[in-house]
Structure 1
Amino acid sequence: MKTIHPGHPSASFLGGSVLILSTLLIATGCAQNPDIRSSRDGTSGITSRANSDYVDCVKGGIRHDAQTFTSEENGKTLLFVGSTDPDKASGLVELSDSQGQKQFSVFQRNAWQDKGRLINAAIMCSNS
């Protein structure tokens, strides 16, 4: 009869744990899409403000040390936070004109870290 000492995990248990952990890490890495537009943290809406006024308002609602970049692309005004690369940006606000209305979409990576400050600023600025 084989004696098993409490507190000493068997080799098969350790091997199984390593296999499960490896599988989870691989699945997590494959599930991430780096483009900020794929973030689950975001919203959209309509604003009556001019694009420049709206962008200035949103900038005023985020951290003052955050780098922001504004550009025009395919008829949209884009406000990037952190980087102009969608794979590296921590936030993005898109403004476009559609059927006489100005629509905005806001995306924020890891919004839980600052309680969705960019998202909240985009919503607040759309209402004023």
Structure 2
Amino acid sequence: MNTTPPGIPSVSFRSSIWLISTLLIATGCAQTPDIRSSRDGTSGVTAGGNPAYLSCVKADIRQDARTFIQEEDGKTLLFVGSTDPTTASGLVELSNTQGPGRYAVYQRHAWQDKGRLINAARACART
């Protein structure tokens, strides 16, 4: 009969703890912080052209926020805070490839300023 002395965990118990810990760490690391995977955003169609729309959105962003415009795969991207989608606080994607200007806007932690970027993107799309 094989018994384990009191107070010393069995090998299978230690293996289980190790496996569970590894899975939890791997699951946490697998999350993508890309702002485009955020649930805080919306999309629609713009009434005006790209330059006018982006100028309108930029005018409604806080004056101390840094903005960057990039062209990528037929889209115009307006980043807020950083050009890295994993650290940017906001992103507006504008595309003319499918007829009228289609936009998508994403804002990280939108609750902090009540979705100001999202609201600006919606309002500018109507003008």
Q: Place the TM-score, normalised by the shorter chain, in its bin.
A: 0.7 to 0.9
Q: Deviations over 1:72-112 (max 9, x none)?
A: 11110000000000001000000001332110000000000
For these two proteins, the number of residue pairs brought into alignment is: 106
Taking the TM superposition and a 5 Å limit, the aligned residue runs for 1:18-33 are 29-30=28-29, 32-33=31-32
AA of the residue aligned to 1:41: D
The 1:103–1:110 alpha-carbon spacing in structure 2 relative to 1, beyond 3 Å, is same
Taking the TM superposition and a 5 Å limit, the aligned residue runs for 1:1-128 are 29-30=28-29, 32-128=31-127
Contact 2:70 2:77 in 1 (8 A): yes
Gaps of 5+ in 2: 1-20
Task: Give the whole-Å Cα distance in 2 for the aligned partners of 1:86 and 1:59.
Answer: 18
The 1:122–1:28 alpha-carbon spacing in structure 2 relative to 1, beyond 3 Å, is farther
Query: 4+ residue runs of structure 1 moved beyond 3 angstroms?
Result: 25-32
AA of the residue aligned to 2:83: T
Q: Deviations over 1:51-85 (max 9, x none)?
A: 11111100111111100000111110000000000
AA of the residue aligned to 1:63: R
**Normalising to structure 2: TM-score of the pair?**
0.76
AA of the residue aligned to 1:58: V
Task: Give the whole-Å Cα distance in 2 for the aligned partners of 1:28 and 1:40.
Answer: 19
AA of the residue aligned to 1:110: H
Contact 2:74 2:97 in 1 (8 A): no
Task: Give the whole-Å Cα distance in 2 for the aligned partners of 1:33 and 1:113.
Answer: 21
AA of the residue aligned to 1:34: P
Q: Cα RMSD between the aligned structures?
A: 2.0
**Normalising to structure 1: TM-score of the pair?**
0.75
Gaps of 5+ in 1: 1-22
Q: Percent identity?
A: 69
